[in-house]
Structure 1
Amino acid sequence: MTPEEIAGTLTELFDTSAINAIAPGSWQVDTSTFRLLVLLSEDNTWLRVLLPIIPAESGQPFLGQFLEANFDDTQEVRYALSEGVIWGVFQHDSGTLVSPDLSNAINRLISLHQAGLDNVFNQFIQSRIRQIIQAAKQQGQSLQATMQSLERFYAEGLMGDINQTSEAREEVLAVWRRQLERLWNED
């Protein structure tokens, strides 16, 4: 893609007032929710699109899930860590890149940005639930016995908020029940 084609693709995706040419071969797209950077290498052979997702400090507990997402979920874009920020990154040889692929990559980066920690947090929780299931099965517990243990932990204040209402506790336990039922036979 030439710089003109890149600029044209950005114009198709965003309001022209949001797009700023910050240097030759470099653009910044500012919206109300994000700042996207599009950078060509000095020799115009390589394109990089960057979108900050979250501060690295916020994502630190989930770095494993970010790496797993790179392997399984993110397709042509990746999570990366640089300068205290977790970024969504797309890199491609500009000579073989076409406008629809650049548009798709930018849309995927925006999806990563919108999801923030949601997807990796859910993966983290799911892995913890699987660990609970594995431990329960190793102890010979059934799904029902495992659920009873969780109910007891909540009733005794070992889990959950001590000031939690009984209705709120029942909602949380219903979520536990659904997740345990969903994952029980996978392991």
Structure 2
Amino acid sequence: MTPEEIAATLRELFDTATINANAPGSWQVDTSSFRLLVLLSEDNTWLRVLLPIVPAESGQPFLEQFLEANFDDTQEVRYALHEGVIWGVFQHNSGTLVSADLSNAINRLVSLHQAGLNNVFNRLIESRMRQIIQAAKQQGQSLQATMQSLERFYAEGLMGEINQTSEAREEVLAVWRRRLERLWNEG
């Protein structure tokens, strides 16, 4: 892709008022919710698109899940860590890149940004639930007995928030129940 084609693709995706050409081969898209950077290498052979996702401090507990997502879920984009920020990154040889692929990658980056920590948090929760299921099955517990243990943990204050209302606790337990039922036969 030429710089002109990159600029045209950005104009197709974003309001032109949000697009700034900072220097030759460098664009910044500023919206109300994110700042997207598009950078060509000095020799124009590689294109990199960057979008900050979360501060590294917020994402630190989920680094394993970010890396797993890179392997399983992120397709042509990747999570990366640089200067205290977890970024969504797309890199491609600009000579073989076409507008449709750049548009798809940018849309995917925006999707990662919008999800923030939700996807990796859910991945972590599912991993922990699989561990609970595995431990319960090793002890010969049924799904019902496992659920009763979780309810007891909530009732005794071992799980949940200190000031959690009974309605909130029931909502959380309902989510646990649905997830356990979904994962029970898989694990």
Per the TM superposition, whether the score is higher than 0.5 is: yes
2:66 corresponds in structure 1 to 66
1:140 corresponds in structure 2 to 140
Q: TM-score, normalised by structure 1?
A: 0.98
1:124 corresponds in structure 2 to 124
Number of equivalenced pairs: 187
Aligned to 1:91, the other structure's residue is in SS state strand
Deviations 1:63-95 (A, max 9, x none): 000000000000000000001000000000000
Q: Does 1:46 align with 2:46?
A: yes
Deviations 1:113-167 (A, max 9, x none): 0000000000000000111101111111111111111111111111112332222
Q: TM-score, normalised by structure 2?
A: 0.98
Amino acid at match of 2:14: F
Report the alpha carbon displacement of residue 105 of structure 1 after superposing the two structures with TM: 0.4
2:34 corresponds in structure 1 to 34
1:107 corresponds in structure 2 to 107
Once residues 10 and 61 of structure 2 are traced to their aligned partners in structure 1, the CA distance between those partners, rounded to angstroms, is: 34
2:81 corresponds in structure 1 to 81
**RMSD, aligned CA:** 0.7
Amino acid at match of 1:128: R
Aligned to 2:95, the other structure's residue is in SS state coil
2:94 corresponds in structure 1 to 94
Unmatched 5+ residue regions in structure 2? Answer: none
Unmatched 5+ residue regions in structure 1? Answer: none
Amino acid at match of 1:64: E
Report the alpha carbon displacement of residue 60 of structure 1 after superposing the two structures with TM: 0.4
